[in-house]
Amino acid sequence: MSNKSQSKPKKTALRFLREANFPKWYQDVINQADMAENSGVRGCMVIKPWGYGIWENLKARLDQRIKETGHENCYFPMFIPLELIEKEAAHVDGFAKEMAIVTHHRLVSKDGKLVPAGELESPLVIRPTSETMVGESFAKWIQSYRDLPVKINQWANVVRWEMRPRMFLRTSEFLWQEGHTAHATAAEARIETQTMLEEYRALAEDWLAIPVIPGEKSASERFPGAVETHTIEAMMQDGKALQAGTSHYLGQNFSRAADIKFQDADGGESFAETTSWGVSTRMIGAIIMTHGDDDGLRVPPTVAPRQVVILPIARDEDAAARVLPAVDELAARLNDTVAFGNRVRAIVDKRDINAGEKRWSWIKKGVPLIVELGPRDLDQDTVMVTERTDIYGKSSHSVDAFVSGIAAQLQDIQNTLYEQAKTYLDARIRTDITDREGFDAFFKKDKYATAGFIRAYWDESAESEESLKPLGVSVRCLPYDQPTEPGTCVLTGNPATKQAIFAKAY
Amino acid sequence: MSNKSQSKPKKTALRFLREANFPKWYQDVINQADMAENSGVRGCMVIKPWGYGIWENLKARLDQRIKETGHENCYFPMFIPLELIEKEAAHVDGFAKEMAIVTHHRLVSKDGKLVPAGELESPLVIRPTSETMVGESFAKWIQSYRDLPVKINQWANVVRWEMRPRMFLRTSEFLWQEGHTAHATAAEARIETQTMLEEYRALAEDWLAIPVIPGEKSASERFPGAVETHTIEAMMQDGKALQAGTSHYLGQNFSRAADIKFQDADGGESFAETTSWGVSTRMIGAIIMTHGDDDGLRVPPTVAPRQVVILPIARDEDAAARVLPAVDELAARLNDTVAFGNRVRAIVDKRDINAGEKRWSWIKKGVPLIVELGPRDLDQDTVMVTERTDIYGKSSHSVDAFVSGIAAQLQDIQNTLYEQAKTYLDARIRTDITDREGFDAFFKKDKYATAGFIRAYWDESAESEESLKPLGVSVRCLPYDQPTEPGTCVLTGNPATKQAIFAKAY
């Protein structure tokens, strides 16, 4: 699966620049980094090794944290009987328009064509999320307060039929984890909801170098069936928001629908309090749009499928005879060191293609470190190192110093990515807009160079939120950090106690 | 998710004994070990933490080996367009009777009932396996011999509609990995097929302590569309065979169907040679039926979700004040040691339930080591240890000796499980049956105490294979290790060059 050859770029490696056409730039990054491709099924993509490798590393970290916070993994069926999904009214309403339905279980040949046969007595929905299936099991597992809490998670594919698909961001089938918990009290369930949102914040910021704003969703943006939805909102480089993970306090809505009852310590009977929370392959879209530049992807070293690529430089066979064993040895030494708690992931790229092309292929993939090693470097016991955060800043290092400093250097790159993104985010949250006129003007202008979020007081009224729709703007969240003073709603001029984040969003 | 209380068993922990009713025993092990349960969807099960934990550990090992043998993970859509799956005739014939078909993408309310709406222009099949989808991508990725080999794998759910479901063994939805590779030559593709079958043999024998017979399938038992299918066959304790993993050499069948062509070094055009290979959650059924006993499951320490459970023994609060910190410290010390290349997985069970009940719950789950620690043990700085392979053989050890010997002790248990299973298998392969009369008599008798495999010469004729059907017997494989001398077919009396394994099978 080699990256197909590209002509050597002049100024930037990509055909489309962020500023000129952000959506085309996004798709170009995915193509040039060889992360994913469209499949023959509308709305469904093939995730290729460079894209899937990022997901595997993200997953390994989050899975570890999910276990460390006391959850166990399970697997629930992908099919949901209609009768089951109907039980929670708000829930089924929320998902009915995007559900894939299985109606038959055989194919037969008819007039030389294959057609569905074996009609099911009752159709099955492919899970858009699993609250209803998990609820059925919870009702069996939970009889007494002694059985609580129950804290489980699953890694699975889900389907939400998508009319306007976009790779990683909106695909009809996507991969995610969904946590589901049941508790004896509302207080405990709320703590769980917050604990997992904090895990998502830490995943985004500390692991993916994506700064986020944690907060609570407005009523209209809640998960269908939830009492509260909490979110982390990230800013993409076009100034739009991306909801990067959500954690829902479901109260007793699903436990009443599924009859999840337990005997409490006093012998009384109560419905359990439940939560659910999820992060999906959408996060890969967030990585691209937070860290990518006009030369392609930049992958945070924590999740890069390869953290170091070593390019042997050898113009003839004599040189190759010296250089090839040296690059293999260097890779082995690097792979024996540890960064971010795991073995360093280094490889040698021995492909027989033009050297410039080869180097640019890795820049476009966003590998954090490119190391070149030729006969002259060998003579001096040095390597030439390029950091992806500064592709024109090659520097020479002694081999030993490079190997012993690898973890620190990867951490530096990680920090740089976070700081750049944090500076970007902070600079583009407008807090100086206080009236509707300024608000509308800001979002109507909407230039790549200045687009971003507005943070302002909001009266939390459904009407004012509704009035944002023609602008294509929504309330992203009520951030957790709030001023102590009340103020005036930016949309209505009414008194307001809380500030909200307003933005266009993915 | 505590194990619901059981009355203390008299002789064995299970209600159903292997000898009396093997199928009911199997289901009882799953229930009592709390591994899985039926869902509201026929043929689909919920895999609970103890079952899923085994799968996670199996998966981690196999995934590591798949990567070490040069494969990369991807993810392909679960939906397959009808047009695509039709392309390979033998393939679609093989799976048509068990395909789940998606025909709609919305639900609407009609007369107070939810009904499917938004009919798809063309129905989608849920993948029973992904050769056709992968083939579409391979055709795009592969242009030149320089692009070969392509070696990928995916971990995914697949659906094969099951009329007679059985937990882990035959479920309509199951989890597996499917590897797919493309090569320039048949020789390379055959080597790949063999390499992965050898990985499966090693996984089964060296990691899951399940002895297997590797060999080639007869023509009638091949994967639909394959040129050759290779298999590892295990023997369950009822003497039946279980196909535990398969590796297929597909020749050019799928590359012609999907048009996977490449330019070779001479400028000519060739179709790629492809392979595919898979192992599924069925392997958990093999673990149960190979290692389980009349007290429940026995899990190989390599894949046990918990390898050591520590039970604090404290009759009053004073004792608890001394014992509880000691058990936590012991767990921490154990979790800091390494066995089988990973951290040891030890936990403390502090549930407030009857001590005998608690101990039996872990015996039924098959945890390799149960450690009891009470005030008397504390005084002597010892622990009382029970190995699951010998539950009446408790012995006292100094704490330090136990901790420092934990990896060796787990390895011992692993070896014991393998040796017991290997002895069982070897004893139940009959090689002394040389004619049809004896053959039929053996399989008609079919007692738990004596059932097993026949290994005998076979003329490889389709007719003789067909004649086995009324007996419920099949050719499991032509083992790789063959005698050098020809012989006489056990079924027909014709001359034969090879021996086959005959058995009833899951």
Euclidean distance between CA atoms B28 and B30, whole angstroms: 5
Q: Tell me the Cα Rg of chain B.
A: 26
3-state helix, strand, coil in chain A (%, to 5): 35, 30, 35
Tens digits of residue pLDDT in B277-311: 999 999 999 999 999 999 999 999 999 999 999 99
On whether the CB atoms of residues A205 and A196 are closer than 8 A, the answer is no
**A90 — contact with chain B (CB < 8 Å)?**
no
- Tokens in use for B469? 């059907």
Element (H, E) at B83: helix B82-85
Largest CA distance in chain B: 84
What is each CA distance from A440 to A392, A435, A436, A469, in whole angstroms?
41, 9, 6, 11
pLDDT at residue B112, rounded to an integer: 83
Place of tokens 């991969």: A175
Chain B partners within 8 Å of A180 (Cβ): none
Burial of A445 (0-12, 13-18, 19+ CB in 10 A): exposed
ipTM of the complex: 0.95
Chain B partners within 8 Å of A1 (Cβ): 72, 141, 147, 150, 152
Euclidean distance between CA atoms A491 and A473, whole angstroms: 12
Chain B partners within 8 Å of A147 (Cβ): 1-2
Q: Do B75 and A47 touch (CB under 8 A)?
A: yes
Q: Which residues contact B260 (CB under 8 A, 6 or more apart)?
A: B135, B138, B139, B142, B182, B254, B271, B272, B274
If we measure between CA atoms, which residue out of A241, A242, A251, A243 comes closest to residue A276? Answer: A251
pLDDT at residue B9, rounded to an integer: 45
Largest CA distance in chain A: 84
pLDDT at residue A87, rounded to an integer: 87
Burial of A133 (0-12, 13-18, 19+ CB in 10 A): buried
Chain B partners within 8 Å of A75 (Cβ): 46-47, 52, 55, 175
Among B77, B99, B140, select the one facing A44 at the smallest CB separation. Answer: B77
- Residues 131-170 of chain A whose Cβ lies under 8 A from any Cβ of chain B: 133, 136-137, 140-141, 143, 146-147, 150, 152, 156-157, 159, 161
If we measure between CA atoms, which residue out of A419, A84, A146 comes closest to residue B4? Answer: A146
On whether the CB atoms of residues A8 and A22 are closer than 8 A, the answer is no
Q: Are β-strands A487-488 and A495-496 bridged in parallel, bridged antiparallel, or unpaired?
A: antiparallel
Q: Do A100 and B96 touch (CB under 8 A)?
A: no
Chain A partners within 8 Å of B146 (Cβ): 2, 352
φ, ψ dihedrals at B226, nearest 5°: -85, 155
Other C-beta atoms lying within 10 Å of the C-beta of residue B447: 9
If we measure between CA atoms, which residue out of A78, A97, A108, A247 comes closest to residue A174? Answer: A78
Q: Which residues of chain A have pLDDT under 70?
A: 1-10
For testing contact with chain A, the best of B4, B31, B74, B86 (most A CBs within 10 A): B74
On whether the CB atoms of residues A453 and A241 are closer than 8 A, the answer is yes
**A123 — contact with chain B (CB < 8 Å)?**
yes
Euclidean distance between CA atoms A137 and A274, whole angstroms: 13
Chain A partners within 8 Å of B143 (Cβ): 4
Tens digits of residue pLDDT in A385-403: 999 998 988 999 999 999 9
Peptide bond into A486 cis (omega under 30): no
Helices (H) and strands (E) in chain A — how many of each? 15, 27
Per-residue pLDDT of chain B (506 residues; tens, 9 = 90+): 334 444 444 578 898 999 999 999 999 999 999 999 999 998 999 999 999 999 999 999 999 999 999 999 999 999 999 989 888 888 888 999 999 999 999 999 988 889 999 999 999 999 999 999 999 999 999 999 999 999 999 999 999 999 999 999 999 999 999 999 999 999 999 999 999 999 999 999 999 999 999 999 999 999 999 999 999 999 999 999 999 999 999 999 999 999 999 999 899 999 999 999 999 999 999 999 999 999 999 999 999 999 999 999 999 999 999 999 999 999 999 999 999 999 999 999 999 899 999 999 999 999 999 999 999 999 999 999 999 998 988 999 999 999 999 999 999 999 999 999 999 999 999 999 999 999 999 999 878 888 999 999 999 999 999 999 999 999 999 999 999 999 999 999 999 999 999 999 99
The alpha carbon of residue B383 is apart from the nearest alpha carbon of chain A, in Å, by 27
Q: Do A105 and B157 touch (CB under 8 A)?
A: no
On whether the CB atoms of residues A364 and A293 are closer than 8 A, the answer is no
Place of tokens 């005959």: B502
pLDDT at residue A9, rounded to an integer: 45
Q: Coil, strand or helix: which one is A227?
A: coil
Q: Do B73 and A84 touch (CB under 8 A)?
A: no
Euclidean distance between CA atoms A277 and A475, whole angstroms: 20
pLDDT at residue B25, rounded to an integer: 97
Among A40, A75, A172, select the one facing B81 at the smallest CB separation. Answer: A40
Tens digits of residue pLDDT in A324-369: 999 999 999 999 999 999 999 999 999 989 999 999 999 999 999 9
The alpha carbon of residue B118 is apart from the nearest alpha carbon of chain A, in Å, by 9
Q: Which residues contact B295 (CB under 8 A, 6 or more apart)?
A: B9, B12, B13, B14, B363, B364, B391
DSSP alpha helix (H) spans, B211-352: 253-258, 282-291, 317-335
If we measure between CA atoms, which residue out of B476, B488, B479 comes closest to residue B239? Answer: B476
Burial of A280 (0-12, 13-18, 19+ CB in 10 A): buried
Element (H, E) at B89: helix B89-95
Element (H, E) at A506: none
- Residues 226-255 of chain A whose Cβ lies under 8 A from any Cβ of chain B: none
**B2 — contact with chain A (CB < 8 Å)?**
yes
pLDDT at residue B222, rounded to an integer: 96
**B70 — contact with chain A (CB < 8 Å)?**
no
pLDDT at residue B10, rounded to an integer: 53
CA-based nearest residue in chain A for residue B50:
A74
The alpha carbon of residue B102 is apart from the nearest alpha carbon of chain A, in Å, by 4
Q: Do A75 and B150 touch (CB under 8 A)?
A: no
On whether the CB atoms of residues A227 and A253 are closer than 8 A, the answer is yes
Q: Do A79 and B173 touch (CB under 8 A)?
A: yes
- Residues 264-323 of chain B whose Cβ lies under 8 A from any Cβ of chain A: none
φ, ψ dihedrals at A96, nearest 5°: -55, -35
**A374 — contact with chain B (CB < 8 Å)?**
no
Q: Which residues of B103-140 are buried (b: 16+ CB within 10 A; e: fewer)?
A: bbbbbeeeeeebebbbebeebbbbbbbbbbbbbbbbbe
3-state helix, strand, coil in chain B (%, to 5): 35, 30, 35
Element (H, E) at A202: helix A186-202
**A98 — contact with chain B (CB < 8 Å)?**
yes
Q: Do A152 and B108 touch (CB under 8 A)?
A: no
For testing contact with chain B, the best of A102, A145, A148 (most B CBs within 10 A): A102
Element (H, E) at A312: strand A308-312
The alpha carbon of residue A256 is apart from the nearest alpha carbon of chain B, in Å, by 18
Q: Which domains does chain A have, with CATH numbers?
A: 23-81+130-291 (3.30.930.10), 308-424 (3.40.50.800), 429-503 (3.30.110.30)
Regarding pTM above 0.90, the answer is yes
